Chain A
Amino acid sequence: MRAPATVNASPPHEDPDLDWLDAMLPRIYGYFLPRVGFRIDRAEDLTQETFLAAVRSGSVPATLNDIAPWLFTIARHRLIDHYRRQDRERRFLRQREDINDEIDQIPVPNLDLQSIAVREEIAGVLDRLKPRHRAALVVRYLDGFTSVETADLLGMSVSATESLLARARQAFRREYHTQHGGFS
């Protein structure tokens, strides 16, 4: 099941103690959704895991300014764990990759990322990649971390991360061309 690409404000509530939850819920859910191929069930699971882990820590920061980065850190770790689990399951089930050097050389053009359709295309391509490739691209590019920070988050050496990123970019191009016949 895929989510409709709606963007909106937070829902109403009656419990003032949950102000921070209501403020952060659309942001955390909106963070997960494109990173799991717009699959509602996975995004909901990860969102719930994030909030429950947060409250179970017993140390919710006092202000929303502090809550947001804290909650996104938890969310990011949950997402990486999710990719890791997928990586394990697929470990021996990987299909042979078709090598196409021509596609590997084609740069990604400037895309209209304000377009929901384009964002869904990108998310769909990411979703088709190996989880380890997806993890690298998401952390490095969607989340905007440096290569060193990406290596730290993935628990890898920087050189291994650079190598992984290079393969992930190749895989992205190939998958995009497979699905869409080229960059729009």
Chain B
Amino acid sequence: MSTSAPLPPDDRDFLQFSGAFDLPVDPAPDFANRLRRRVTSTTVVASQPAARRRVPVSNRKRGNLNIVPAPHAGWGQTAIAVALVVILLGGAVVWTNRNAKDNGSNHLGYQTASAETRHAVNPLATASSTIDADNSSSVEAHAVAGIPPNFSIAMINDDIAYGQLYGDPVSPSAKPQAHLAAYDLSRHEQLWSQSTERLFNPSLIAGDVLLGLIYPEATVDGNGQVADPASAIPVLQARDTASGEILWTSTQLPFNRSALAQHGYAGVSDIVVVSETLYTMTGDGSLHAFDLETGALLDSTSLEQRGTPGLPPIVASDGTSIFIGELGGGVTKLSVQDDVMTEQSSIDAIDESANVVSMSVSSSYLIVEEHVGLSGNDQSARLTALTLPDFTIAWQRDLDATTSERWIAGSTFAYSSFMYDPPSRWISWIPGMNEGTTTGGIGLIDISTGDDLIKIPANDLDHYTPIANYGNGVCYVAETLQCVSITGDQFSIGGIDLGSNPDEMPVWSIQSWDGRLLISTNAGMFVTDMLPS
């Protein structure tokens, strides 16, 4: 292949690289052998007559249905693949029910489901439809914290910075602003759409107020990327959830400019609301308080340096206190009462080298997840439950190093685990090791004790897999969209064919709202309805 287009002056220098990096290289023999085994087992499944047919989601008919034996690789001696076809409301869906029954031998040490079960869970219970979101592949459903359980409006913003590499055909110069839109998911209708500043980042819905961060001074290059990260000073903005209209825009967060210049970016934590006051932390270790009604800056306090300079700590709240999970280890509780903030206690959950990577709050527990040794060889991870409001450790458990090592080494940002059915259970996502002996899965943990309840085999999970929970289970995207239905200690897994090869239609994210699932793909946004079991 060669170019016939006019070459920029410096283009020719680089053409010498063509073909110089395509030499065959032998992989390690053990890897080659593992791959052969996996390919062989996969080939057996793929060549079966019932192997899945791909049907466009918008054009499904009953006649297109197929029973799909789910591929299985490893997981001890687990595995019974059962196929289930669900046809509802005229929508035809490929749905695999993969009940797993474990005889007690497994690699992750989980308790197993006590019996096979089958749930009539169909994530596409009603005919699915695509949301017309400017027909742009850059549109993503963003996770918005604090959405009430019955909130049926999805906030979707169109992010130029993502769009470039993700296929937005519209040049930034012709589309200088991003958009934020709200959709009624029950009717699949757009309620409103508003222009936003570039990089509007919806963060929290508090009552009827949508809070987000904007970066009005950010200099953006021709590719829509922030050209100078130091210019991306965050500003809070509140919008009316009913109309999208701006309610107020704050002054710039009083970010320490010298720290910003040193670290090159303005890290801002999640936003929490306590007693009509909004709190957020910046990467210079400052805690800022804003009036929720007016956006006025009430106070800005420099706390003791917490964690990695430049990176904001993890912040959560139970409505009366603020919890600060530090990137240098430990969790601090700040009690807020009568506009007076008191640092009550601090717990170092692992050691000083730990990084708090996630915190979730229920009425009874604060669940803290920490990683140690992000860039070194001595990697481990720990889950800690702190009782509320007394803030004492209820239990701690180390996560399986043989599975956690991989995702710690690969990415801290993509890891996902969250409260499920709060406050009783916790879902932990365990990416596969691709070793042929240990596969990925979803673990369900009893929050009151820290004990494992079940292990759900979910092959093809890796540390990049988009994952989201919904009212009755959890969905993730591997080769296809998979949803796990959980009832008590029983579960079933179903696959959904979105109608296209993942190579052709990658799924960028999935989010759940009000029992519905939003699936962002490069072919548009899908919204699905869920049926209870």
Binding site for B on A (CB under 8 A): 3, 5-11, 13, 15, 17-18, 21, 25-27, 29-31, 33-35, 40-41, 43-45, 47-48, 51-53, 55-58, 74, 77-78, 81, 83-85, 87-89, 91-96, 107-111, 113-114, 119, 122-123, 131-132, 135, 137, 140-149, 154-157, 159-160, 162-167, 169, 172
Contact = CB atoms under 8 A, between A and B. Distances in A.
B34 to A, nearest CB: 8
B378 interface: no
A142 B18 contact: yes
Task: Please classify the interface of chain B as helix (H, G, I), strand (E, B), loop, or mixed, using the class held by over half of its residues.
Answer: loop
Contact of B21 (A51, A119, A146): A119
A30 to B, nearest CB: 4
B213 to A, nearest CB: 11
A81 B479 CA distance: 13
Contact of A17 (B29, B32, B43, B411): B43
Interface residues of B, number: 78
B216 interface: no
Contacts of B39: 18, 21, 51-52, 55
Contacts of A9: 24, 26
A149 B1 contact: yes
B165 A154 contact: yes
Interface of B: 1-5, 8, 10-11, 13-29, 31-32, 34-36, 38-40, 42-43, 46-47, 51, 71, 137, 161-162, 164-172, 221-226, 228-230, 261, 263-265, 267, 409, 411, 413-414, 434, 462, 464, 479, 501-503, 506, 522
B2 A144 contact: yes
Contacts of A45: 434, 462
Contacts of B27: 25-26, 29, 43-44, 47
A155 B25 contact: no
Contact of B506 (A21, A81, A163, A164): A81
22 contacts: A3-B25, A8-B24, A11-B29, A17-B40, A21-B35, A21-B39, A26-B24, A30-B23, A30-B24, A31-B21, A40-B28, A52-B39, A55-B42, A85-B411, A88-B162, A96-B264, A142-B21, A156-B165, A163-B221, A163-B222, A166-B10, A169-B11
A11 B264 contact: no
B308 to A, nearest CB: 11
Contacts, number: 217
Interface centre among B164, B409, B501 (most CB of A within 10 A): B164
A159 B167 CA distance: 13
B36 A56 contact: no
B5 A122 contact: no
B42 A52 contact: yes
A25 B502 CA distance: 22
A18 B267 CA distance: 50
A155 B166 contact: yes
Which 6 interchain pairs have the tightest Cβ spacing? A155-B167, A26-B24, A108-B13, A30-B25, A144-B18, A96-B264
